[in-house]
A and B are shown apart, each in its own frame.
Chain A
Amino acid sequence: MTTPMLDYVNVAKRFGDFVALSGVSMQVHPGQVVCLIGPSGSGKSTLLRCTNGLELIDGGEIKLAGKTMPRDPRGMRAVRQRMGMVFQNFELFPHRTALANIMSGPLTVLRLSRADAEQRATALLAKVGLSDKAASYPANLSGGQQQRVAIARALAMQPDIMLFDEPTSALDPETIGEVLNVMKQLAEEGMTMLVVTHEMNFARRVADHVVVFERGAIIEQGPPKQIFEAPLVERTRDFLSHLGWEG
C-alpha cells in the first residue's frame, strides 16, 4: 500500500477545558476525496485547521507523506505551500482584483515573475469559469463567484492536497451548485481533497471515503455506500436522519 498523503494518529486538541478533538485516527490517500461530516462543533473544521497548522495539536501526530508535521514557522510555511485551503467565508483579499488575488501566492511565496504569475492566474480563472471577472474586486462578485476565485487562488500554489472548510455553507442556495461543480471537476482530475461539508449529496457522490464526527471524535468511517446506505453505528443514522436523509 502506498504511503498515505495524510496520516492522523490519535490526534488531540483542546481549547482550554473544551476537548475539540480526541483520539482521531484516519488517513487520506493520494487522489482520494475524503469528506468529513457531522454536527456543527464536532471537530471537523478543527481537524482541517490543525492539518495546515492554523491550530497546533496537543497530542498524537499528523504525518504528511510519511513525515511528521513540523511545528517551526519555516517548516510550517513549507507544508502550507503544499496544501491549498478554501474557507467558509472565502477570505478573498478585498483590496485586490480577482486576478491579483490568484496571483498573490505565486508572486509573494513562489516568487514567480509577474508575467508567469499572471499567466497561471488567467488559466485558473478560466478553469473556474470566471475569465470575464479578472478585473473585478471581490465586493462586486457573488458569493459563488468569490468562492470559485478562492479555489483558484489556492490552486495557484499547485498544491498536493486541497482542504475545503465548509466551502458552501455561506452561500445562497442558487450558487452552491457552481462551487460544487468546480470541486467535482477537481476530484475527477485526481486532486487529493479533504472536505468538511454539510452537502450530503456531494459526499455521497464524490467522496471515496466519508468520516463521521461527533463531539471531537470519529464515530464511523468508511466508503459513502456504507455511511449513507448501511451505517454501522446508530448515531450516524441519527445524524443523517436529522438532516432529512432517507438513504
Chain B
Amino acid sequence: MTFDWSIIQTHAGELLQGTELTIMLAVATMAIAIPGGIILALLRLSGSRILAAISASFTEFFRNLPLILVIYAAYYMLPLAFDFAFSPIVTALIALSLNVSAYNGETFRAGIASIRRGQSEAALALGMSRFQAMREVILPQAIRRVLPVLASTWVSLFKDTSLVSVIAVGDLAYTSMRIRSQTFRVLEMLTAMAAIYWMLGYPQAKLVDWLNRRTGISE
C-alpha cells in the first residue's frame, strides 16, 4: 500500500476553511450557550415553580438526547416549525446551542449553589435586591468557580462540532470526508483530520488542566 501525502497539500485551502468553520461554530455556540446556561440556572433557582419546571424540562430533554439526533431533528423540523429554511450552519448552531446550554445550565446551577448563603445575606443586608445580589455578588463568584467545568465543556464541544457534518455543514470533518470520497485517499485524510483536531484540542485541554490547578489553589 502506498501513501500519497501530497493530497493534503493540494487540498490545504479547503481544510483550512473547514477548520475555520469548526472554530467559528464552537465559538458562536459557546457565546450563545453561556448566557443561555445562566438564564436556565436563574430560572431553575427563581423560586417560581413554573419557571423552574420549564428550565428543568428543557435541560433534561436536551441533556439526555444524543447530539446527533438533535442535529437531525433541527434539520428536518425547524423548517416545518418556522416555514422557513435555515441554512445548515444556522441549523447546526441552533442544535449545538440547545445541547450546550442545557449542560451549562447545570454547571451554573451547581456554581451558584456552591456560594455560601452568607454572601447573599451580606448583599441583602446592604439593601440590595435579590437580583442585584445575584448580579453583583453571587454570579461573579459562581462563574469563576465553574470556569474549569466550562472549559472542559468547551473542549468537548470543539470535538462534537464534527457531528454537524451529517447535515452537510462544511466544517473540518465534513470537508475531510468530502475530499476523501473524491480522492479515495482514506488514510491520508483521516490522518490529516486527526492531526488538525488534536493539535487544536491539545492546547485547550492543557488550558483546562491549568485552570483546574489554579482554582484548586485559590479556594
Interface residues of A (CB under 8 A from B): 52, 54, 73, 77-78, 80-81, 83-85, 87, 89, 91-95, 104-105, 108-109, 139, 153-154, 157
Contact = CB atoms under 8 A, between A and B. Distances in A.
B199 to A, nearest CB: 35
Contact of A105 (B119, B121, B127, B140): B127
A80 B122 CA distance: 11
* Most chain A C-beta atoms within 10 Å of own C-beta, residue among B128, B132, B140: B128
Contacts of A157: 126-127
A160 B132 CA distance: 23
B213 interface: no
Contacts of A104: 123, 126, 136-137
B2 interface: no
* Most chain B C-beta atoms within 10 Å of own C-beta, residue among A105, A108, A109, A157: A108
Contact of A109 (B119, B127, B140, B144): B127
A105 B126 CA distance: 6
A157 B122 CA distance: 13
Q: Which 8 A-B pairs have the closest CB atoms?
A: A81-B127, A91-B122, A85-B125, A105-B126, A109-B127, A91-B118, A80-B127, A95-B140
A187 to B, nearest CB: 20
20 contacts: A73-B129, A77-B129, A81-B126, A85-B122, A87-B121, A87-B122, A91-B118, A93-B119, A93-B122, A93-B137, A94-B141, A104-B137, A105-B128, A108-B126, A108-B132, A108-B136, A153-B126, A154-B125, A157-B126, A157-B127
Contacts of B137: 93, 104
Nearest to A83: B125
B96 to A, nearest CB: 30
B182 interface: no
B106 to A, nearest CB: 22
B52 interface: no
A83 B124 CA distance: 11
A170 B18 CA distance: 58
A54 B141 CA distance: 22
B218 interface: yes
A83 B122 CA distance: 12
A95 B119 contact: no
* Most chain A C-beta atoms within 10 Å of own C-beta, residue among B118, B124, B125, B218: B125
B124 A54 contact: yes
B127 A89 contact: no
Nearest to A74: B129
A91 B119 contact: yes
Nearest to B119: A91
B198 to A, nearest CB: 36
Nearest to A49: B121
A95 B125 CA distance: 18
Interface in B104-140: 118-119, 121-130, 132, 136-137, 140
Contacts of B144: 95
Given A77-B127, A105-B126, A87 B141 contact: no
A24 to B, nearest CB: 21
Nearest to A150: B122
B118 A89 contact: yes
Interface string B185-219: 00000000000000000000000000000000010
Interface in B126-183: 126-130, 132, 136-137, 140-141, 144
B73 to A, nearest CB: 40
Contacts of A54: 121, 124-125
B132 A109 contact: yes
Nearest to B122: A91
A144 B119 CA distance: 18
Given A87-B118, A105-B128, 16 more contacts: A73-B129, A77-B127, A77-B128, A78-B127, A80-B124, A81-B127, A87-B121, A87-B122, A91-B118, A91-B121, A94-B141, A104-B123, A105-B126, A109-B127, A154-B125, A154-B126
